[in-house]
Amino acid sequence: MKILGIDPGIHRFAVVLIEDQTVAAYRIFRPRGPDLGAKLKSLYESFTDLLEAWTPELAVMETVIYHRNVRAALTLGSARGVALLALYQKEIPVMELSPTRIKQALTGNGRASKPQVAYVVRQLLNFQEEVPLDVTDAMACALAVQRELKMQRLIGE
């Protein structure tokens, strides 16, 4: 199954395609534009083109988390909204997992640090390339769901 992991953001929007326990592709979008609207338009166009090219069967991203910085939360929400719109327009199912659930599924510790999660993800996927934590976060989303789906098949749910 081709699973798209997404780590949305307005400055860096990371996507990873995982297939059969392998990183098939990854990309970081850096939306450009003079204002938020222009950046979101750029992101939407680039992301929809990527969805057509990569043809994922399922997409995964973290659930919305509490932010002390309201402005950061709003821009993150805008980027998430663009992703959700594009995915639903392409009729690609979307799963959302809490950060704690993702960390627990991969490291056994729901409070693991980003570098700890990145280390485990790289080991599980045998991925040695140096990439930003945004990319390993997107990998973690996809890998956590892949492992959950595999477990459900094993126990017959």
**pLDDT 10s digits, 47-89:** 999 999 999 999 999 987 666 778 777 888 899 999 999 999 9
Give dist(CA 54, CA 17) in Å, integer: 8
Q: Select from 40, 43, 54 the least CA-distant residue to 4.
A: 54
49 is catalytic: no
62 is catalytic: yes
- Give the long-range contacts of residues 98-101, CB within 8 A, separation 24 or more: 98/62, 98/63, 98/65, 99/62, 99/63, 99/65, 101/144
Overall number of domains in the chain: 1
134 is catalytic: yes
* Full domain range(s) for residue 136: 2-155
pLDDT in tens, 25-54: 999 999 999 999 999 999 999 999 999 999
**What are the backbone angles phi and psi of residue 20, rounded to the nearest 5°?**
50, 50
CATH of the domain at 38: 3.30.420.10
